[in-house]
Structures are given as C-alpha cells and as structure tokens.
Amino acid sequence: MTRKRWILTAAAAATALVLSACGAGSNPLEGGGASESAAPAPEAGEVVVGSANFTESQVLAELYAQAMQAQGVQATTRPNIGSREVYLTALQDGSISVIPEYTGNLLLYFDPESPASTAEEIETALEEVLAEEQLVLGTPSEATDQDVYVVTAEYSQQNQVTSLEDLADLAPDAVLGGPAELAERSYGPPGLAELYGVEFGEFRPYDAPAVKIRDLNDGKIQVATFFTTESAIGDNGYVQLEDPQGMILPQNIVPLMAPQVAQNTAAVDAMDAVSEALTTEELTALNKAVDVDRRNPGEVAGEWLASEGLA
C-alpha cells in the first residue's frame, strides 16, 4: 500500500486523534500538555509570539521575536502555551499573533486527507487550507525537525538494518520505544504495519527522553523514535532509518501568523530572514545549548541572531 492510500484510509482515525491529543506527552510535532491560564489579548500594534511547551518551540519563538525587535517591531513572547490544539486556538482568538510550526503535521491537522507528500506540495496545500482558517503561512525554512526511527550502530550492523523496510522480519521479537501518542499516529505502529509490514512485539511509551536513550543503549528496546534536531542522535551515533515510502511527511520550520502580522512588512521581513538563515544543524545546536548546557532560550537565540547579523 502506498503512503497516499494509507493516509486516506487513516483520515477518520487521524482526525479523532488530533482532536483528543491535548495532554498527550511532549512530541514537538504533535504537541501535548496543559495550556497556561488565559492571557490578555495583545495591545494594538504588538506582536505576541507564542510557543508550545518544548525547548525548540521556545527557541524559535525567541528567534522570531528578537529578530522583529531588532527591526523596531513591538514584539514579545508567550512561552509554554501547550499543544497544537491549544496554541492554534490562541492564534485564532487573538491571544497570540505568531507561532512556530511544522509544515507536514500542520497540514495533517487541518486536512488529514491531503495527498501532498513533497515539501512543495505541502506548502501549496497549506496556503489553501490556511486561507479558509484566516491564518497566514510565513516562509518555510530549509531547517526541518521531523520524527525519525533510529537504532544503535551495533544493532544496525548486526542485523543489516538501515531502512524501515529492513525491520519486517525483526520486529516481532523487538521492542519499539517512543512517546505515548505514537502508538496511534499514522506514522507510528499503524503506518509501519500498513506500509512496511512491520509489527513490533511490544511498544513501550516514554515520557523522559533520557530514560529512552538509556534503554536503547542497554538493549531494552531495539528501535526508538526521536526528532531530527535532538542531539542524542549524533551524540550516541544512532543510525537513522530510511523511510522510502514517505510515511513521515517533510516538517519544515515555519512561522504561522495572524493576518494583521502578515501586513506588517518589518515583522514579516524579520521572520523571513530567520527562516533563510536557519539550518537543521544550527537548530540542533541551539536546542542542545538549552537542554544539555542548561542555558536560557532567549540568550541562546540572541547570540545566534547576532552571529547572523539579524540583531
């Protein structure tokens, strides 16, 4: 079965899951966590950049806000709002005016039946669906952050595993680890079974990345999902498994904004400059500076902007 056929058959289930996803872990692409208390609406002319409740979103919000401030825009941040369901509501009701987003899963949120699969197709489809939602897509960055399945280098070598296709015979005796919500996602076990004939003997949910890393390294789980900007992949020498069927959509970083922000040339130009300069490798380093080095997201973002001449 092709990915497009799988998406169509999974559409109803995906819609239901999206609507029930609040509080479902810490997946940066799907969100999940309690929202903060109701916040006042922005003042006239103020741009409020919200973020979800994970490091990368906070860093991106600081990048956008500080870049706008450098261009004379009155911009502030409102961090840790919560899941996609919560922060999109805040964007649509005017509580915030910009949010960092991810193209592929944003499209699936609004249109789970979309057959778009390439970055260009996803961007075109998003612009159409967002017009109906009275939201505006900014310029997508070449920087991406998407789900990826990994194994240790030892497991890859011993079992000749470099692709999701290679797991079909191994999976019944293996354990897959990932965030709890992965169990029902179209790019989780359901998609693996439909597209690749891969059915794991066990799925083990993890809330704490450090525990997942330890268990993968200790062989308690054999395959795990991470996000491509997590430094743990490179730090541990994990092998990222290829996805030849395109089960996991491209997830380019992009600012999503309210219409009034889209009319503010200085604000748009500032965010476009961030999108143009940012790379996946640099975003990974920024995340690591916060998560591993325990630095403040605002300070990390400010230093990067200064190094790029954007602040």
Q: Is the pLDDT of residue 17 over 90?
A: no
Q: Which CATH number fits domain 147-240: 3.40.190.120, 3.40.50.720, 1.10.8.50, 1.10.1240.10?
A: 3.40.190.120
Task: Give percent of the chain above pLDDT 90.
Answer: 75
| Dist. CA 141–CA 1, nearest whole Å | 31
DSSP classification of residue 68: H
Q: Residue 9 has what pLDDT? A: 44
Question: What's the whole-number mean pLDDT along residues 118-122?
Answer: 96
Q: DSSP letter for 171, please.
A: G
**Which amino acid would we find at residue 260?**
Q
Instruction: Give me the residue spans of the domains in the chain.
Output: 3-144+250-307, 147-240
pLDDT tens digit sequence for 25-80: 344 455 433 334 445 555 567 999 999 988 899 999 999 999 999 999 999 999 99
Q: How confident is the model over 196-204, as a mean pLDDT?
A: 98
Count of CA atoms in the C-beta half-sphere (13 A) of 236: 23
Indicate the pLDDT class of residue 121, thresholds 50, 70 and 90: very high
* The pLDDT of residue 44: 62
Higher pLDDT, 130 or 16: 130
Cβ–Cβ < 8 Å for 142, 272: no
Q: Which helix (H) or strand (E) holds 100?
A: strand 98-102
Distances in Å between the Cα of 218 and the Cα atoms of 221, 222, 232, 236 are 8, 9, 15, 12
First CA to last CA distance, the chain = 49
Dist. CA 33–CA 257, nearest whole Å: 22
Domains 3-144+250-307 and 147-240 agree in fold:
yes
Q: What is the mean pLDDT of residues 104-115?
A: 90
Which residue has 């692709």 as its token pair? 163
Chain centroid to CA 63: 16
Q: What is the mean pLDDT of residues 234-252?
A: 95
What's the mean pLDDT when you consider all of the chain? Answer: 88
What is the pLDDT, as a whole number, of residue 105?
87
Determine the 3-state secondary structure of 256 from DSSP: strand
Location of structure tokens 């200085």: 266
Residue 56: CB atoms within 10 A of its CB come to: 25
* 3-144+250-307 CATH fold: D-Maltodextrin-Binding Protein; domain 2 (3.40.190)
Sheet of strand 202-205: strand arrangement: 202-205, 175-178, 223-227, 147-151, 239-240
Would the pLDDT of 4 be above 80?
Answer: no
Contact 29, 187 (CB under 8 A): no
Q: What is the pTM of this model?
A: 0.78
